[in-house]
Structure 1
Amino acid sequence: MKFKHVVVLTGAGISAESGIRTFRDQNGLWEDHRIEDVATPEGFLRNPDLVYSFYNLRRAQLQDPAVEPNLAHLALAEFEASHTARGGQFTLITQNVDDLHRRAGSRNMIPMHGQLLSALCTRSGLSHPWHGALSASDRCRCCDTPQPLRPDIVWFGEVPYQLDNCFNALATADLFISIGTSGKVYPAAGFLGVAQDAGAMTVELNMEPTREDFDQGYYGPASQVVAEFLNSLEDQAG
């Protein structure tokens, strides 16, 4: 086996072909809203109804029957299964808040920015599965006195989930693959450097190059380049 621990980072680009908007456009707007209004704790305090409505729409979109995992999601899940069956390690870190990796069959996954299909208790910090609309009147099931819930999303200014686990995985990786992410938002933007310090081979799979310090880069639609690259790894392992 050429690579023992494969760490993959995915961003919005891997879900675009499934019909999920990439969220932030070239004008810095998130689905036609200012980031400060819908993706910060301050925005939630200022106008919670707007924030609830914003994520309710995204949650409903995600559950549209037309939105399904694409070939890139499926290829990652299949590679994880075969790689771990050979005794390798595989860690998938995703910046996405959709559940498409999970539906495709990925198992060892860190959703560092939270998940649309769960709600967060504002007091305990515990997550609760949540598939319907969420509002200020909804309450948790974890506290003696039920508390308000908020979208289970890591907003700007908040610490991503399982960050220590992310860095621990990167520190033992011998192959790091970045898929469909701009690599501009920290702390994920620093993952490449951590992997390089660990001596890992680094590969970018994206629509176009984002930086020049990856060892290899393959560019085009995720459903094409991800499957092709992972197939080449399978051929080497075989």
Structure 2
Amino acid sequence: MSTIVILTGAGISAESGLETFRAETGLWAQHRVEDVATPEGFARDPALVVAFYNKRRSQAAAALPNAAHYALARLEAEHSGDVLIVTQNVDDLHERSGTKNLIHMHGALNSALCGACDHRWPAPAVMAANAPCPSCGAPTARPDIVWFGEMPYHMDQIFETLSRADIFVAIGTSGNVYPAAGFVAEAARAGAETLEINLEPSSVGSQFDDALLGPATQTVPAWVDSILKRT
């Protein structure tokens, strides 16, 4: 039974209407990274940061999973081996499509985090700056998002699974953000077959064994069909 590890990025949710970061009209063209996606930016202006993620939370709640999300959920349900999806996305479209074995390495919009005691709880639709933690009471609530300069979540579990992966696939990723951009090299060292599915080759596209180029809603279901026929 083969182990499949899948990394997903903003490209898989773009066809559900969610903005990517690095497109010409993407989120980083509209906002300075330093202002809304760093601990320092949050310390300077928590109201700006909270408002940014409130808007993104609202947009994500209105979006619907697309054919690529549903195809990956079907792969997990029907594949005879293990399937782990590691997402860089902070939306919940994978969960809403039925995926169970999922790691949000960059956090989640629907979660809040206490900066004082690390308590987590479901984020309200509209968070307030300096909101109190329901556990310790400190006015240090923040979006449960991994910002630049912070360590992504569950890295030990991710690298352990990559070390025994038979297939590694990256879907809709830019290849610009580490450590996720290094996953293909980790999987290759373990002897995994590697595939990139994207609109165009990523920054690390040359490291993959093969590529499927095109919209995720078309390429991902076709790839899933091919895998399920093999297993």
TM-score interval, smaller chain: over 0.9
Q: CA deviation at 1:31?
A: 5.7
> Corresponding residue for 2:216?
222
Q: How does 1:54-93 map to 2 (within 5 A)?
A: 54-64=52-62, 67-83=63-79, 86=80, 88-93=81-86
Normalising to structure 1: TM-score of the pair? 0.92
Q: CA deviation at 1:147?
A: 4.0
Is 1:169 the counterpart of 2:169? The answer is no
- Structure 1 CA distance for aligned equivalents of residues 111 and 27 of structure 2: 24
Of the three residues 87, 92, 100, the one matched with 2:93 is: 100
Aligned partner of 1:127: which letter? R
Of the three residues 175, 189, 192, the one matched with 2:184 is: 192
- Structure 2 CA distance for aligned equivalents of residues 45 and 138 of structure 1: 14
Q: Which runs of 5+ in 2 are unaligned?
A: none
Q: Is the 8 A contact 2:105 2:152 kept in 1?
A: yes
- Structure 2 CA distance for aligned equivalents of residues 55 and 100 of structure 1: 16
Alignment deviations for residues 66-107 of structure 1 (CA, whole Å, 9 cap, x no partner): x10000000000100111xx2x11111000000000000111
Q: CA deviation at 1:132?
A: 1.4
Normalising to structure 2: TM-score of the pair? 0.95
Size of the aligned set, in residue pairs, is 229
- Structure 1 CA distance for aligned equivalents of residues 124 and 42 of structure 2: 20
- Structure 1 CA distance for aligned equivalents of residues 104 and 39 of structure 2: 19
- SS of corresponding position for 1:183: coil
Q: CA deviation at 1:148?
A: 2.1
Q: CA deviation at 1:216?
A: 1.2
Q: Is the 8 A contact 2:199 2:215 kept in 1?
A: yes
- Structure 1 CA distance for aligned equivalents of residues 23 and 227 of structure 2: 33
- Structure 1 CA distance for aligned equivalents of residues 26 and 66 of structure 2: 26
Is 1:121 the counterpart of 2:117? The answer is no
Q: Is the 8 A contact 2:16 2:65 kept in 1?
A: yes
RMSD: 1.4
Alignment deviations for residues 139-163 of structure 1 (CA, whole Å, 9 cap, x no partner): 22222x4442001100000000101
Aligned partner of 2:4: which letter? V
- Structure 2 CA distance for aligned equivalents of residues 28 and 37 of structure 1: 15
Q: Which runs of 5+ in 1 are unaligned?
A: none
> Corresponding residue for 2:128?
135
Of the three residues 19, 22, 34, the one matched with 1:21 is: 19
Aligned partner of 1:222: which letter? A
- SS of corresponding position for 1:103: helix
- Structure 1 CA distance for aligned equivalents of residues 26 and 38 of structure 2: 14
Aligned partner of 1:68: which letter? L
Q: CA deviation at 1:213?
A: 2.1
Mean Cα displacement is larger for which, 99-108 or 30-39?
A: 30-39
> Corresponding residue for 2:193?
201
